[in-house]
Amino acid sequence: MPALTAIITTFNRRKFLGPAIQSVLGQTFGDFELLILDNSSTDGSEELVREFSDRRLRYIKHPAMGISPQRNLGLAEARGEFVAFLDDDDEWLPRKLELELDLFRRGPVSLALTYGGLKWIDTDGRVLNTYTPKLRGRVLQELLSVKDPFTGSASNPMIRIAHAKTVGGYDETVTTGEDWEFYLRLSERFDVDFTHEPVVLIRQHGGPRLVDRVDGKINTEKLVLDRYGPVMSRTTKSFYQQIIGGKWCRVGELRRGRAAIIQAIRTNPLNYKAFLQLILSLGGARFYSSMHRVYRKRTSYTGRA
């Protein structure tokens, strides 16, 4: 059996899939299997995969499904003790598997996830920004606060499969933010660790995404608020109520959005952003959305999904 399973999840990205595969096969650590899960691509991705003759490669073309069921399929099919996912438009740096597996070998049995630094790149491979990890140990509260990009992408971590299955794998009711929600449950019970060295290139582009819906994000944030609200600080709880309210306003549900924002103010009267959002909501959904786009352009760090 291989020491670990590398999994590329793909859908209609033949342009980037070849370099992604090459970045796995070119790892300094070689005791792995590469499982490619193809979500019913129609762009010739299967023919591209068949051009690779490496014996470690296993290809599964499956019926169309959401990303959470697809990740669970990967966990079920994996033959290694550890798993590392790679999105089809990203690339691993050569020592990614070596560095993250070494952390597991030197760490405690309670270690569930390891990750490393990352670089965000554009479609031509130019580096846009970099990130150096900061969070290790039991990091639930830090993840809930959403002040750190943590892994930055599902293409970064390596995960101990036994611990992933202990927490139930990926929640298939979650359609957006499934990786983050999964990491929250892992961090409740297990440890994480990191290497400072960059291990992955995360590509930023305007290509098709499997999930990017506001209503999906609302559902995920509500799920997290309901589950972890009792252990959140007032500041964090108010933050979730505020961002949920803001999203409702963006999709035209102004009454529902304002109610959530008002609740955020009641939870934390010092939440000045909630007051500002409440005022902006009076201009209507279109005005609110345009102000939100301006805000995101000015404050978002590069690479944030």
What domains lie within the chain, and their CATH numbers? 4-203 (3.90.550.10), 214-299 (no CATH)
> How would you classify the pairing of strands 32-38 and 158-160?
unpaired
Residue segments in the chain with a per-residue pLDDT below the cut of 50: 208-212, 301-305
Look at residue 215 in the predicted model and tell me its pLDDT. 85
Look at residue 270 in the predicted model and tell me its pLDDT. 96
Look at residue 293 in the predicted model and tell me its pLDDT. 84
List, for residues 284-296, the tens digit of each pLDDT value.
999 998 998 888 7
* Nearest residue to 203 via CA among 127, 148, 263: 127
Look at residue 299 in the predicted model and tell me its pLDDT. 59
Which H or E element spans position 124? Answer: none
Look at residue 206 in the predicted model and tell me its pLDDT. 59
Buried/exposed 53-70: b ≥16 CB within 10 Å, e otherwise: eeebbebeeeeebbbbbb
Three-state secondary-structure class, residue 61: strand
Look at residue 300 in the predicted model and tell me its pLDDT. 54
Three-state secondary-structure class, residue 165: helix
pTM: 0.90
List, for residues 18-74, the tens digit of each pLDDT value.
999 999 999 999 999 999 999 999 999 999 999 999 999 999 999 999 999 999 999
